[in-house]
Amino acid sequence: MKMIPFGATGLSVPAVALGCMRLPRLSDEEAKTYVRTALELGANFFDHADIYGSGESERIFGRAIRGIPREDLLIQSKCGIVPGKRYDFSKKHILDSVDGILSRLGVEYLDSLLLHRPDALMEPEEVAEAFAVLLESGKVRHFGVSNQNPMQMELLGKYLPVPITADQLQLSLTNCTMISQGMEVNMATPGAAARDGYVLDYCRIHNVTIQPWSPFQYGMFEGVFLGSEKFPALNAAVDSLAAKYGVTPVTVTVAWLLRHPAKLQPIIGSMNLSRIREAVAACDLVLTRQEWYDLYLAAGNILP
């Protein structure tokens, strides 16, 4: 397993993380197999959120890891969404959420806690108070955000007791505006629009690990682009490289993300053990510069 720095923490983590949103699809026995297979592959970084399965994902995972030494696991969860009602970054909500997360997981601490999407009513001083309590109590070791732009992180960072470690953002071959805006600088093309405030460059400057979510999806959960008739050129390019290297399209797709020098940590949400193995195999495939750009262009992006 390829290891990368986790923000500025000094901690090394697997380059491929596993997302646990779909765990409720598995039986308890299947979940145990999922966890043990991941550990055998060196993929011991698991990403949760308190809303996944209305908490059931964490309960299933908690049962699946019984008997596994806590130090063998890197567990991250997210909080802040009250589904269909609001976002809530209040001190009380964060503290209550973490207590619920730990209880469902059956562990004493999280390696990382992310704020789940931005809260328009966020009071950064209150978030900082919550993080300080969690840090001092030992319930959370590192903190991050999801889907936040640079100025939102700057605002939080003004008050937080520790640096922001990670930002979870949508990024894939078909959703790569954070890359295209840096390529199409000073152009009147759609890809030139800085929709996220140049978050990719910001995170590289400030040692914030970007965790791409939905690395196989196009649009906003519209579907998987691999094998889709909507992306013939992209699939032809991916298939060609897969045949060249004797791997699968999943491996090539993840390798494209890992080839970026930002040291991305893509989150693989599949419960399919074969697909997880294929994703982890990307750690051993380093695309050439030309191959990376060929895929970028095949996905419909342009070069000035």
Domain boundaries, the chain: 3-298
pTM: 0.96
Q: Which amino acid is at 18?
A: L
Return the H-helix or E-strand segment holding 114. Answer: strand 112-115
pLDDT of residue 221: 82
Burial bucket for residue 243 (CB in 10 Å: 0-12, 13-18, 19+): exposed
pLDDT of residue 50: 98
pLDDT of residue 122: 97
Which CATH code, of 3.20.20.100, 3.30.565.10, 3.40.50.10210, 3.40.50.11900, is assigned to 3-298? 3.20.20.100
pLDDT of residue 27: 97
164 touches 143 (CB < 8 A): yes
Q: Would you please indicate which residues are annotated as catalytic (active-site) residues?
A: 52
* C-alpha span between 108 and 106 (Å, rounded): 7
Instruction: Write out the two tokens for 214.
Output: 């939905």
Four-residue CA torsion sign, 214, 219, 222, 223: negative
268 touches 275 (CB < 8 A): yes
| Alpha carbon distances (Å) from 114 to 22, 28, 163, 170, 184 | 19, 26, 12, 15, 31
Please list the rounded mean pLDDT of every run of 10 residues in the chain (304 residues): 97 98 97 98 98 98 98 98 96 98 98 97 98 98 98 97 97 96 95 95 98 94 94 98 98 98 98 98 98 98 95
